[in-house]
A and B are shown apart, each in its own frame.
Chain A
Amino acid sequence: MSVLVIAEHDNKTLNEATRAAVTAAKKFGGDIHILVAGQDARAVADAAAKLDNVSKVMLAESEPLGHKMAEALESLVLSVAGSYDAILAPASTVGKNFMPRVAAKLDVMIISDITAVESADTFVRPIYAGNAMMTVKSSDKVKVITVRPTTFEKAGDGGSANVETISAPDAVATSSFVSEELSKSDRPELGAAKIVISGGRGMGNGENFSMLEKIADKLGAAVGASRAAVDAGFVPNDYQVGQTGKVVAPELYIAVGISGAIQHLAGMKDSKVIVAINKDEEAPIFSVADYGLVADLFKAVPELEEELGKAGY
Chain B
Amino acid sequence: MKILVPVKRVVDYNVKVRVKPDQTGVDLANVKMSMNPFCEIAVEEAIRMKEKGLAEEIVVISIGPAGAQETIRTALAMGADRGIHVTTDAAVEPLAVAKILEKVVGEEKPDIVLLGKQAIDDDTNATGQMLAALLGWPQGTFASKVEKADGSLKVTREVDGGLQTVAIALPAIVTTDLRLNEPRYASLPNIMKAKRKPIDAKTPEDYGVDLSPRLEVLKVAEPPKRQGGVKVESVSELVSKLKNEAGVL
Asked if B40 CB lies within 8 Å of chain A CBs, one says no
Asked if A55 CB lies within 8 Å of chain B CBs, one says no
Chain A residues within an 8 Å CB radius of B141:
70, 96-97
Chain A residues within an 8 Å CB radius of B142:
93, 97
Q: Is the CB of B13 within 8 A of A263?
A: yes
Chain B residues within an 8 Å CB radius of A244:
38, 117-118, 120, 177-178
Q: Is the CB of B94 within 8 A of A110?
A: yes
Considering only CB atoms, which chain B residue lies closest to A307 in the complex? B239
Contact mask for chain A residues 171-212; partner B; CB cutoff 8 A; 1 contact, 0 none: 011111111111100000001000100000000000000000
Chain A residues within an 8 Å CB radius of B163:
180-182, 236-237
Q: Is the CB of A286 within 8 A of B231?
A: yes
Chain A residues within an 8 Å CB radius of B93:
109
Known: A139-B216, A307-B236. A101 touches B132 (CB 8 A): yes
Q: Which of A111-142 contact B (CB under 8 A)?
A: 111-113, 122, 125-140
The complex places the Cα of A262 from the Cα of B137 at a distance, in Å, of 35
Asked if B162 CB lies within 8 Å of chain A CBs, one says yes
The complex places the Cα of A300 from the Cα of B218 at a distance, in Å, of 47
Asked if B66 CB lies within 8 Å of chain A CBs, one says no
Asked if B242 CB lies within 8 Å of chain A CBs, one says yes
Considering only CB atoms, which chain B residue lies closest to A299 in the complex? B235
Chain A residues within an 8 Å CB radius of B235:
293, 295, 300, 303-304, 307
Known: A109-B214, A110-B126, A131-B17. A227 touches B178 (CB 8 A): yes
Known: A127-B121, A134-B217, A177-B166. A237 touches B158 (CB 8 A): yes
Chain B residues within an 8 Å CB radius of A291:
229-232, 238, 241-242, 246
Contact mask for chain B residues 136-170; partner A; CB cutoff 8 A; 1 contact, 0 none: 01110110100000000010011111111111110
Q: Point out the residue from A10, A100, A231 that lies within 8 Å of B130, measured CB to CB.
A: A100
Minimal beta-carbon separation of A132 from chain B (angstroms): 5
Contact mask for chain A residues 268-297; partner B; CB cutoff 8 A; 1 contact, 0 none: 010011110000010000111111111100
Chain A residues within an 8 Å CB radius of B242:
252, 273, 275, 291
Asked if A108 CB lies within 8 Å of chain B CBs, one says yes
Asked if A264 CB lies within 8 Å of chain B CBs, one says no
Q: Is the CB of B169 within 8 A of A273?
A: no
Known: A104-B129, A176-B166, A181-B163. A127 touches B95 (CB 8 A): no
Chain A residues within an 8 Å CB radius of B129:
70, 96-101, 104
Q: Which of B43-89 contact A (CB under 8 A)?
A: none
Q: Point out the residue from B11, B117, B223, B248 that lies within 8 Å of A126, measured CB to CB.
A: B223
Q: Is the CB of B130 within 8 A of A175?
A: no
Chain A residues within an 8 Å CB radius of B19:
131-132
Q: Is the CB of A275 within 8 A of B238?
A: yes
Asked if B197 CB lies within 8 Å of chain A CBs, one says no
The complex places the Cα of A172 from the Cα of B168 at a distance, in Å, of 10
Q: Is the CB of B221 within 8 A of A133?
A: yes
The complex places the Cα of A93 from the Cα of B221 at a distance, in Å, of 27
The complex places the Cα of A252 from the Cα of B177 at a distance, in Å, of 28
Minimal beta-carbon separation of A185 from chain B (angstroms): 10
Q: Is the CB of B159 within 8 A of A94?
A: yes
Minimal beta-carbon separation of B28 from chain A (angstroms): 11
Chain B residues within an 8 Å CB radius of A108:
95, 214
The complex places the Cα of A294 from the Cα of B234 at a distance, in Å, of 9
Asked if A103 CB lies within 8 Å of chain B CBs, one says yes
Minimal beta-carbon separation of B125 from chain A (angstroms): 5
Chain B residues within an 8 Å CB radius of A191:
160
Asked if A19 CB lies within 8 Å of chain B CBs, one says no
Asked if A217 CB lies within 8 Å of chain B CBs, one says no
The complex places the Cα of A219 from the Cα of B248 at a distance, in Å, of 11
The complex places the Cα of A111 from the Cα of B132 at a distance, in Å, of 18
Considering only CB atoms, which chain A residue lies closest to B20 in the complex? A132
Minimal beta-carbon separation of B192 from chain A (angstroms): 32
The complex places the Cα of A126 from the Cα of B224 at a distance, in Å, of 12
Minimal beta-carbon separation of A248 from chain B (angstroms): 12
Per CB-CB distance, the 9 closest pairs between chain A and chain B, nearest first, are: A290-B229, A100-B126, A100-B129, A175-B138, A104-B130, A109-B214, A101-B133, A104-B133, A136-B215
Instruction: Jot down 19 A-B pairs with beta carbons below 8 A, ordered by A.
Output: A70-B132, A70-B139, A101-B129, A101-B132, A104-B131, A109-B93, A112-B125, A113-B125, A127-B121, A131-B16, A138-B214, A172-B138, A175-B169, A236-B162, A237-B144, A244-B38, A291-B232, A291-B241, A304-B238
Q: B-contacting residues of A (Cβ < 8 Å)?
A: 10, 67, 69-71, 74, 92-94, 96-105, 107-113, 122, 125-140, 172-183, 191, 195, 219, 227, 230-231, 236-238, 243-244, 246, 251-252, 262-263, 269, 272-275, 281, 286-295, 300, 303-304, 307-308, 311, 313
Q: A-contacting residues of B (Cβ < 8 Å)?
A: 11, 13, 16-17, 19, 26, 38, 93-95, 98, 117-118, 120-127, 129-134, 137-139, 141-142, 144, 154, 157-169, 172, 177-179, 213-223, 226, 228-232, 234-236, 238-239, 241-243, 246, 248-249
